[in-house]
Structure 1
Amino acid sequence: MVAGYDRSLGWVMRHRRLTLLSLLVTVVVNIALYVVVPKTFLPQQDTGQLMGFVRGDDGLSFSVMQPKMETFRLSILADPAVESVAGFIGGSGGTNNAFMIVRLKPISERKLSAEKVVERLRKNMPHVPGGRLFLAPDQDLQLGGGREQTSSQYQYIVQSADLGSLRLWYPKIVAALKSVPELTAIDAREGRGAQQVTLVVNRDTAKRLGIDMNMVTAVLNNAYSQRQVSTIYDSLNQYKVVMEVNPKYAQDPVTLEQVQVITADGQRVPLSSIAHYERSLANDRVSHDGQFAAENISFDLAEGASLDKATVAIERAIAAIGLPSDIISKMAGTANAFASTQKSQPWMILGALLAVYLVLGILYESYIHPLTILSTLPSAGVGALLTIYVLGSEFSLISLLGLFLLIGVVKKNAIMMI
């Protein structure tokens, strides 16, 4: 080994210009590999757990969402890699949203990664009218959009001070993102609003018949609002007693024609004699991010796609539709954190190299000798980046930390060799 090192050192000393040129070429190759290697924020984990999100049409009630949730749950349980499924309906997202936690069997039994299980579940998922299921592997570190429950790992947020403008451009942005091949499982609010019934009362007719508006409000409250009227207590629990019509009579507004109100003299009068109802659509909520009205779009990456390539494709697709100045669209959550780190990563690497140079300069009391030691780093960098590229991995924040460790190890070995 010593003899081989002696011969190689002699060859290098005889071909100094070629050696210097190879160093410069290695630096260029490092830069080229850094540009080419796929990048992401954090590597994908297999925690043995999936997160599921069921989005129903706007305005769906708990009783309507429950059978949809059960259909999805049974379909997931039928997969041989799934051990258990738990979930709930409602929460901050409203009763038309549901959340699931899918526990997978140990990797030794299922033989597939969590990502592959998600792909199989997506292919076998039944079509449920009025409901969509989104699945993603659960991660230990999640950076959500901070506004509401998210159905996928990455988020894109659209903001505007003008709600009307937001409603106009939001579907166009969703359509643009759906055209990006690097994205999959795109979740966006697509409904035109929740169905609602407006009861229009002819107050003149009601007054002529001796019907007070408070009476109309009380009758509707007793019939449809599940008003609590009492509480039953036993030794272990307590139960709320609510007043309502039979649920089968609350499924269609036509039943309003069967409701009766009581006049001042005690007579019963059909509600339809003083009022009529009108069907319409209305947004059941307006989401905000900061001080602006906002809508969230969640997405996952298609198989083989990296976050940096997807980010570039998204920016290109959004630029093509020409958003007005009052519409703000940007990455959120993990995707936003990735965009921020992407800009600072090269400077962090240069900063680490500069810090090493300063420390070595102080130790050797020289401006030249530290460069001799640092000249061993480019070849190590090529090896590291080439390994990531060949194995089909992605350069992540963890890879960056590993690169810093590699700089320290190579520097130590170079000092020992010199």
Structure 2
Amino acid sequence: LKPRDEREKSQQQIVQELFPQLLSIPGVLAFVINPPSLGANFASSPVSYVIQGDNYEEINQAVNIMMGEASKLGYLLNLDTDLRLNKPQLDIHIDRERASGLGVSVADIGSTLETFLGGRVVTDFKRGAKQYDVILQVKPEARSTPNSIENLYLRSNAGLVQLANVVKVEKTVAPKELNHYNRIRSATITASLLPGVTLGKALDDLDKIAQEKLPSNIKREYSGQSLEYKTSSSALYFMFLLALIFIYLVLSAQFESFVHPFTILLSVPLAVFGALLTLFIFGESLNIYSQIGLIMLIGLVTKNAILIVEFANQQKENGLSVADAIIEAATIRLRPILMTSFATIFGILPIAIGLGAGAESRRPLGLVVVGGMLFSTFLTLVVVPVVYTLLSRFVKTKEEVKLANENSRTELNDEAVMVGK
């Protein structure tokens, strides 16, 4: 493609336009995909769903169910699996009772099959300076068909016994490759996605199909890009929770209270709601970039509440009532709150608009920050004062703590005097 500033359409728009045109070509299966953004192999498929079981027959049945149901979703392209039961195989079943009656052991049967069909080194000889192995084996034309197995003979206590009398040969098919995932027998279902369909939606739908249609002994895992997506998503949720706990502890140490940090962190749900609403309005998904933006919001939106709560505490120390202190704090701190918030919003706005190459991936991050800041800034001015007023009864000022300490000391001194008398 040409550089982004030399073309009007984005990479995603070009893919969406070429997709139906390529699929309409008769006799050709061709489609356009975007290269993976998480550093995976370009040839790898976004959807990589692993089915695990005790044996390949059960896995094959589960894969057929998954493939049939997944094809009904309508947005999975090039749906395929690496489990193919198309390799011809001969299963040899030994009649142990008959073999025992004829004086033939299972070891003798195995040794005969190994020697005549596979070949076995029985000795070697030297010619000059070179040494050669002597391999015992039936001629190729005598072992080219399955019927050749039954025509073999082996020696028993009573003489020669035809192999057809003690074994039964059955023609079957087997997997071409015995794939394992985490050392468990498995098969992998791969697929590409239609433009506009998220990987999270595809994996959720496949999980729902597996839960409803597959037996309980069949397990499911992820690999490739699907595993990267699930791992990164769960890690970001953990980081979001860890950031909340860390900020709460820092604020508790700063304000010397466990109540005020709770008041301040109430601005985070407001910001998250505004961010998700913005993503919905602009048709963006909750991906790894927007999740990073949510973590950024925790630190950005709490500063507004900190400004109000800190100034209200100072006004209370000066003797104002709770209502007068919080009204004074919200009034005086309005201008710095708006200045810092709009400075942040206008700084992130170019990312939210989506300017320059690669802007499509950064755009959700910008939308999350801008939408969350706008929504939280105005609601914080209403919600924080109300919550501060309601919870202030559980927080004592320094003067109240000092007065309580003095009263307790006075009571202790009085008790000591009474005891002395």
Structure with the higher fraction of residues in helix conformation: 2
**TM-score, scaled relative to structure 1:** 0.47
Using the size of structure 2 for normalisation, the TM-score is 0.47
Structure of higher CA gyration radius: 2
